[in-house]
Structure 1
Amino acid sequence: MPSPVADPLFNQSLEKGLAVLRAFDASHRTLTLGELAELTGMSKGSAQRTVHTLQVLGYVGKHPQTRRFQLLPKVIDIGFNYLAAHPLIRAAHPYLSQLAQSSGETASLTEAVDADMVYIAQFLTTQHIPVLTPVGMRIPMYCTSSGRAWLSTLPDAQVRSLLGSAPRPARTPNTLTGVNAILERVALCRKTGYTTNREELFLGDMGIAAPVVDNQGRAVAAVHLSPPTSRWTMDEAQAKLAPLVIECARAISQSLATY
């Protein structure tokens, strides 16, 4: 865990509890006490006290067969309360629905968290999709259309700083990892109003995205479609889907003033 700046109000016990909850992910659905201690940087004694508290509160339990620790459904309450009270999601709902219907593809809304984008709303297509990206999932900015759309509203210096703040591994053979190459895509988005990604994060998956901005032009989110390569070429997606994405992002941006 990162060491907090000296702050008399900072609660380290709460920090440890959140670190334990964050240790569970798709790669670590169940964990032993020792694994939790290693992943969070705690001693076993500290990890044991933290996990016990979370067990008593109903956020963590033990798998009935393996006896390994796992998250319990109660943890959903924390994220759901954020989504339920979010004015951006309420404003975007009708426009995302219309975008999904008019395009026939999955329409999503994402927000920035550090150097990632997190899904906060989504309308799924009834057609086959190669990748499941549920609400709450985080994806990196550098190799996604939604991340590049959000970055396009920032000055180049801030974009470089964000790109340099986290690793940029090649997720597929098509992933752009160089800062200058990514900046070119970001700059193009400023001119065209949208940006793309073709199989840079997941094979078989593309992205067409546009930024959602407030009345001062600051990015608050990004809208994107996820057309699969099995149904679309990039040229077709840009010609037919990009105008729909731009219009959806513009409509959401304009509607924010009423919330």
Structure 2
Amino acid sequence: MTSLPPASPRTARADAASDAERPDPLFNQSLEKGLEVLRAFGAAHRTLTLPELAALTGMTKSSAQRTVHTLECLGYMAKHPQTRRFRLTPKVMEIGFNYLAADPLIAAASPYLSQLARDSGETANLTEPVGLEMVYVAQLMTSKYIPVLTPVGMRIPMYCTSSGRAYLSTLPDAEAITLLERSQRVARTPATLTEVQAILARVQSCRQFGFAVNEEELFLGDMGLAAPIVDRQGMAVGAVHVSPPASRWTMAEAQRKLAPLVIECARAISLSLAH
């Protein structure tokens, strides 16, 4: 068998330089592109053409075409025969459902969320942190009207929500400030707090009283009261919150009647995780 000649020092140096320039040799860019295409769809982009997908993801048209074709073959996307516009298929939900089915926090929280919804008369929600946002992972709804639909999978910013502030309250001030400074603190409503120190004051209040609030800062007519959930190591893993509408509650009344229920629900979930 013929052996290969050893690499020259020049070639070795070039290979080493190439490896040093590469951020992560194990990073799969093709997989990244596929996920970017899936994330391009949403309420604002229910269907997309190939050029639109390329523009939204920053890909070349040929790269987008290969990625879309692969996802279509795998059943995650479909193309309308007349309009030639692409859409996601229900198969995409398999990925999210696998997480929900495997998440021990959801299983532990379910009976306590049910009790919170029953005792409060309001929809009980469980959220977990993802970057600078909180994502809904479980929800126990009641028959009462809610002004804003917040389905499982929806993401909301930390800086202007009760659940986000509850989560931030478990972090040291320096870490919470860093996350707030990295957030695009846009005014979602006239009531939205956007200054870091003003938001931090609400976070610190949660440490003192055990619950965080948001009063029509994300959506008009919608309030929030939340408490953090911690694991057996005392690390924050999520938050419980209710969103009493301003049409049924004043903030003072919600804090008096609902906050103790939210705090107790979060405490019960945290204790269940400790065993």
TM-score (norm 1): 0.96
Aligned to 1:75: 92
The structure number with the bigger radius of gyration is 2
Mean Cα deviation higher: 29-38 or 144-153: 29-38
1:174 is paired with a residue whose SS is coil
The superposition leaves residues 70-106 of structure 1 with CA deviations (integer Å, 9 ceiling, x where unpaired) of 1000000000000001110000000000000000001
1:93 is paired with a residue whose SS is helix
Residue of 252, 255, 258 corresponding to 2:269: 252
Mean Cα deviation higher: 64-73 or 167-176: 64-73
Aligned to 1:59: 76
1:211 is paired with a residue whose SS is strand
Report deviation, 1:5. 6.1
**CA 5–216 in structure 1, closer or farther in 2 if over 3 Å, else same:** farther
What number of residue pairs does the alignment pair up? 255
Which residue identity is paired with 2:123?
T
Report deviation, 1:65. 5.1
Aligned to 1:185: 202
Aligned to 2:170: 153
Which consecutive aligned stretches of 4+ in structure 1 deviate over 4 angstroms post-superposition?
Answer: none
1:31 is paired with a residue whose SS is coil
Q: Are 1:123 and 2:140 matched, yes or no?
A: yes
Residue of 239, 242, 245 corresponding to 1:222: 239
Aligned to 2:130: 113
Superposed, 1:1-259 pairs within 5 Å as: 6-63=23-80, 66-258=83-275
Report deviation, 1:155. 0.7
Report deviation, 1:216. 2.7
Report deviation, 1:8. 1.5
Q: Percent identity?
A: 74
Report deviation, 1:211. 0.1
**CA 56–208 in structure 1, closer or farther in 2 if over 3 Å, else same:** same
Report deviation, 1:162. 0.6
Report deviation, 1:243. 0.1
Query: 2:221, 2:246 within 8 Å by CA — same for their partners in 1?
Result: yes
**CA 198–114 in structure 1, closer or farther in 2 if over 3 Å, else same:** same
Which residue identity is paired with 2:94?
D
TM-score (norm 2): 0.91
Report deviation, 1:151. 0.2
Which residue identity is paired with 1:159?
A
1:200 is paired with a residue whose SS is coil
- Unmatched 5+ residue regions in structure 1? none
